[in-house]
């Protein structure tokens, strides 16, 4: 793709209002307690546009206004994002070398997922050289009611998150997708008891995923590690090998994050 074509493609996928809002947040990060006129000049927006962006961001908690000085600064939600990003970056840094080793041992793709409210996102991948393989993309979002890693994150999520997921409409991806809340609750209980989950064709037809939770120093489940690939390669002996490996390596990564009580990992 030449430079001109790439620029056109970038423009097609860029949402201008989102781009302006993010640029404004970056301006406030470098220029706290700035007024509307200064923000407009620094961000290259009109004052009316800045007012609209600030109003929206303030409603969401990403910007706070000082009523006395009528200036603006970053709000508490920006701290929330920074904290989540810092945790995920440190987790990926700790997990990646172990994921690379696991991918070589099982010769399948290895994924790391973290929960985001009532969904989850892929934050790291180690790929196998096999031509036929199952792969998520870094940054790809997923529902919590399908797949190996997402269901791990659902099973160990706070009760209010579980209730939110199970009370909402559950999309159907394949004939194996479970959409009955009572059946999902039973599966959640089994996952918490077993400490791992094996998914077959419930999100992608013909695919498997075997996953286990990763805990931090406090015992909270902060991510899920999974081995994923075509179901045609999942023999009984290979499934057993994958379960053993994913439990072993999730424990290794958890130890890197400060978890030192493997006997108390379930429940």
State the pLDDT at residue 13: 57
15: left (phi over 0), alpha (psi -120 to 50) or beta: beta
The secondary structure of residue 85, as a DSSP letter, is H
State the pLDDT at residue 78: 85
* Rounded Cα distance, 69 and 32, in Å: 12
Q: pLDDT, tens digit, for every residue of 74-116?
A: 998 887 777 777 767 889 999 999 999 999 999 999 999 999 8
Q: Where are the alpha helices (DSSP H) in the chain?
A: 3-13, 16-30, 36-43, 47-59, 76-106, 148-155, 159-167, 181-194, 236-256
**What is the helix (H) or strand (E) element at residue 74, kind and residue range?**
strand 71-74
Query: Domain residue spans in the chain?
Result: 3-74, 80-264
**What is the helix (H) or strand (E) element at residue 108, kind and residue range?**
none
Taking alpha carbons only, the member of 103, 82, 90, 109 closest to residue 25 is: 82
More confident residue, 126 or 85: 126
Above 80 in pLDDT, residue 5?
A: no
* Rounded Cα distance, 138 and 140, in Å: 5
State the pLDDT at residue 135: 65
In contact, 207 and 134? CB cutoff 8 Å: yes
Q: Tell the residue number behind the tokens 């074509």, with chain if given.
A: 5
- Token pair recorded at residue 198: 């094996």
State the pLDDT at residue 255: 94
- Token pair recorded at residue 41: 């000049």
Above 50 in pLDDT, residue 18?
A: yes
State the pLDDT at residue 191: 97
State the pLDDT at residue 10: 47
Look at residue 96 and give its three-state secondary structure: helix
- Return the CATH class of domain 3-74: mainly alpha
Taking alpha carbons only, the member of 76, 43, 34 closest to residue 59 is: 76
Q: Tell the residue number behind the tokens 């899920």, with chain if given.
A: 224
For 80-264, CATH gives: 3.30.450.40
State the pLDDT at residue 102: 97
What percentage of residues in the chain have a pLDDT greater than 70? 90
State the pLDDT at residue 12: 57
State the pLDDT at residue 244: 97
Above 60 in pLDDT, residue 142?
A: yes
């Amino acid at each position: 793709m030449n430079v001109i074509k790439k620029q056109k493609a970038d423009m097609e996928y860029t949402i201008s209002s989102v781009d302006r809002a993010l640029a404004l947040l970056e301006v406030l990060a470098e220029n706290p307690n700035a007024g509307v006129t200064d923000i407009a000049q620094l961000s290259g927006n009109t004052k009316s546009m800045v007012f609209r962006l600030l109003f929206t961001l303030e409603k969401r908690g990403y910007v706070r206004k000082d009523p006395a000085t009528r200036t603006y600064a970053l709000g508490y939600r920006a701290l929330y994002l920074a904290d989540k990003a810092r945790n995920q970056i440190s987790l990926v840094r700790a997990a990646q070398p172990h994921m690379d080793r696991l991918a070589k041992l099982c010769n399948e793709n290895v994924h790391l997922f973290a929960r985001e409210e009532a969904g989850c996102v892929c934050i790291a991948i180690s790929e196998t050289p096999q031509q036929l393989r199952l792969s998520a993309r870094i940054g790809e979002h997923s529902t919590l009611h399908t797949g190996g890693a997402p269901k791990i994150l659902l099973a160990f999520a706070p009760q209010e998150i579980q209730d939110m997921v199970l009370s909402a409409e559950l999309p159907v991806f394949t004939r194996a997708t479970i959409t009955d809340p009572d059946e999902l609750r039973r599966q959640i209980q089994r996952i918490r008891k077993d400490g791992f989950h094996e998914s077959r064709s419930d999100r992608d037809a013909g695919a498997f995923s075997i996953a286990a939770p990763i805990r931090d120093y406090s015992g909270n489940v902060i991510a899920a590690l999974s081995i994923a690939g075509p179901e045609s390669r999942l023999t009984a002996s290979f499934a057993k090998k994958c379960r053993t490996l994913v439990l072993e390596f999730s424990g290794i990564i958890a130890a890197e994050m400060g978890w030192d009580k493997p006997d108390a990992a379930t429940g």
